[in-house]
Structure 1
Amino acid sequence: MFTGIVSDIGEIESLKPVAQGQLHRLRIGCRYDRATIADGASIACNGVCLTVVASGVEKGTTWFDVDAAAETLGMTTAKHWVVGTRLNLERALKIGDELGGHIVAGHADGVAKILSRENLPDMARFTLNTTRELARFIAPKGSITLDGVSLTVNTVEDTTFSVLIIPHTLKVTTLASWQADSEVNIEVDLMARYAARLTEMK
């Protein structure tokens, strides 16, 4: 489990298709202490929970390898990742950690498309569109995870919604680079999903 609070920005150093293209082996450089990364650990990369299969240090920079499987490549923006792509990283939540965002599974539900970007003094407002299936879980003032970042929804109209990004978030995540027509990973709020399921079963 995660909280949607980014703790580092990593960069893809290499990407190798394996298993007839059904699996991509990624090497991601980061600032984490190598000693704290164990094989089998979970790290959310742009909101996608991936399992560490190897790690090390090269030229003073920590790196870790993860595998992105066919489903991940098909459902998320991972299919567009290339060498040099910067990723929001978050380590898995440990008992006793501060829950600063909201409960995030790291299982991206799909993608949302950025329709527009409005630059404000030190801030930015983004309007996005997603599928009708996912839009039913999005509510004004509710929580949402976009590219691994816990955000509060501002407005919702049909399948379109908006978020306002504060200066701190723009500084410590990749969201400052977002532009119109880009796609981002989306994970809807778990509580909203469970509430909708309970309503459907009545």
Structure 2
Amino acid sequence: MFTGIIETKGKIVKASPINSGIEFQIQTEWDKPDLSVGDSVAINGACMTVTTFQEKGNIFSFYTSYKSLELTNLSKLHVGGSVNLERAMSAGQRFGGHMVQGHVDGVGKIHSRKTIESDSVEEFWVECPESLIRYLVKKGSITVDGVSLTIVEVENRLFQLILIPETLRKTNAMSWEVGKIVNLEVDVLAKYIENFMELRFSK
């Protein structure tokens, strides 16, 4: 389980095709990483397992299968690229975002971006797959590339986000240009409610 509060960014230093997937190496910016082999880390919001960790250099590896590559934007990662990182939450920590599983529901595309205030507040409109639109509500939560964000407006297949400078600085959102593919995870509570209602009224 994750919260959507990005801890740090990482840089892709190696990408090696292997066993119907890709093994990535990421250099992190954690000051005191406590990663171990087998730990779960959200990479742009997709839950992956640490396969190796080198404390010297803060470098860890993870393997992603062809299926994960197909369903997420991890297939578009390249050496030198930046990713959002969040370790799985631990008991007793502050819960600053919302419940995030690290199970990407689909990918969206940045439709537009513009600065709306002189202090670099950015407005984004994101195109969403038709299958996910029913889970989006004004002032509801959504995870975009692992970042817990609040939906400002929903219009047809587009939803609006407003990002403050702190979010832009701490995440890879600064690189979200028009056409950029981003991972989306809708609020799991919406999916539970939908499933409950379908079961209730199907009887």
TM-score tier by shorter-chain length is: over 0.9
> For residues 52 and 83 of structure 1, what CA distance do their matches in structure 2 show?
18
- Residue among 188, 191, 198 paired with 2:189: 191
> For residues 29 and 35 of structure 1, what CA distance do their matches in structure 2 show?
11
Q: 5+ unaligned residues in a row in structure 2: which ranges?
A: none
Q: Where does residue 156 of structure 1 map in the other structure?
A: 154
> For residues 195 and 113 of structure 2, what CA distance do their matches in structure 1 show?
33
Q: How do residues 20-169 of structure 1 correspond to structure 2 at under 5 angstroms?
A: 22-32=20-30, 36-58=34-56, 61-121=57-117, 122-169=120-167
> For residues 125 and 106 of structure 2, what CA distance do their matches in structure 1 show?
17
Contact persistence 2:141–2:150 (CA under 8 A) = yes
4+ long deviations beyond 3 Å = none
% identical equivalent positions: 37
> What TM-score, normalized by structure 1, do the two folds share?
0.95
Q: Where does residue 15 of structure 2 map in the other structure?
A: 15
> What TM-score, normalized by structure 2, do the two folds share?
0.94
Q: 5+ unaligned residues in a row in structure 1: which ranges?
A: none
Q: CA RMSD for the aligned pairs? A: 1.2
Contact persistence 2:110–2:182 (CA under 8 A) = yes
1:72-112 deviation per Cα after TM superposition (whole angstroms, max 9, x unaligned) = 10011011111111000001000001100000001111100
Aligned length: 198
**Structure 2 residue matching 1:136: 3-state secondary structure:** helix
Q: Counterpart amino acid of 1:55?
A: F
Q: 1:68 to 1:123 in 2, by over 3 A?
A: same
